[in-house]
Chains A and B, each alone.
Chain A
Amino acid sequence: MRTTLIAVVAAAGLVLAAVPVRAHHAFAAEFDQNKPIKVQGSVTKWELTNPHSWIYIDVKGETGNTVTWMIEGASPNNLYRLGLTKESLPAGSVITVEGYQAKDGSTRAVGRNIVFANGKKFFLGLTEAEGAPKEGTAPQ
């Protein structure tokens, strides 16, 4: 059986492009691959909306001014299943965002990688003790 499987896999030529695209929209149509951003700021608001959630962060510019960036994230429904609630992300949390800016030039970006100051991955970091939801708040 083992040899058969390896033969099958090794014989694979072009990958079958069979399944229709599952993503509900082309991210490349909304965000610009040629406009990467990396910003750090403190959270002011967390919108738990679908199909995408939004984190609002205040980013201090070089000249001392503050710019509000809106960072697009995934559906919050998966976070609820991890036990997070609307209370899980308090205002003032400092995060670093790597992503791509919106094609319309606004201060919106898709948050490709979001981490805390200590390098911990954002939402998973929340469930791992830091900022974890209080007992009894997560629904069954």
Chain B
Amino acid sequence: MRNWLGDSVVAGVLAAALLLAATHGAAQAPVYRAPRTPDGKPSLNGIWQALNTADWDLQGHAASKGPVPSLGAVFAVPPGLSVVEGGEIPYLPAAAAKKKQNQANWTTLDPEAKCYLPGVPRATYLPYPFQIVQSPQTILMSYEYAGAVRVVNMGAPTKAPADSWMGWSNGRWEGDTLVVDVTSQLDSTWFDRAGSFHSDALHVVERYTPRSADTLTYEATIEDPKVFSRPWKISMPLYRRVEKDAKLLEYKCVEFAEELLYGSLRKKSSN
């Protein structure tokens, strides 16, 4: 005789198992797997750009009046959410005071106004595109702003002979993530227009992870015991410039910063 109780128990267990499997599967969305370069690495090739206000201020901020009244709403400070994990940058007390001073005088102090090279990570989230050109031994990142560029060494790590504006980059792969270790940056760069700064002890570790066909997740861990009480991290998406024939154009801003830098040395016209 057919055991209907047993069958239904089996059916119930089977149903429960299927339901469990279904919910478990749905909770774990498949991780995006980027197309490979011809040498088998995840491809980060392309023109990318951040779409946020990180360059204005890494920390969350409301909109505020701009520094040039005659430009009104064209050049006021737009609002933005923090890109810093945890919200705030953990300054040491003396450094926090300096940051405030920087922010109050940013129009004269910000190296961006002078068209100085931005350093890392600021180069990534300036409001201009940059391009990644990937070869097996070398990954080159060319930034539209000021023609900034850096070469990421993908071979055995090497050491910098001296400090530089864009630092010294050694890279490696961790699964589908490009990890770039950046050392030896000069202390002359800022992180944003709000006066966030660092010392020559700065150490940055970046992570570039493809998250979809046209987006990357960009993370950077910042460590500087002379300025911050602990390491801290920023995170943001980077968007591919998908338009046909997208291209970096020249933003050789030296020309635009000269009056600011050398205007006082101009010959005074004789009256």
Contacts and interface: CB of A to CB of B under 8 A. Distances in A.
B267 interface: no
Query: At the interface, is chain B mostly helix, strand, loop or mixed?
Result: loop
Interface in A53-92: 76, 80, 84-86
A137 B162 contact: no
A6 B162 CA distance: 48
Interface stretch (B79-87, B153-161, B203-211, B232-240): B153-161
Interface in B141-166: 158-163
B101 to A, nearest CB: 24
A85 B162 contact: yes
Interface in A38-59: 48
What size tier do the contact residues of chain B reach?
A: under 10
Interface string A117-137: 000000000000000000001
Most buried by A among B161, B162, B163: B161
A84 B163 CA distance: 13
Contacts of B163: 48, 86
19 contacts: A48-B162, A48-B163, A76-B162, A80-B161, A80-B162, A84-B161, A85-B161, A85-B162, A86-B161, A86-B162, A86-B163, A137-B159, A137-B161, A138-B161, A139-B158, A139-B159, A139-B160, A139-B161, A140-B158
Interface of B: 158-163
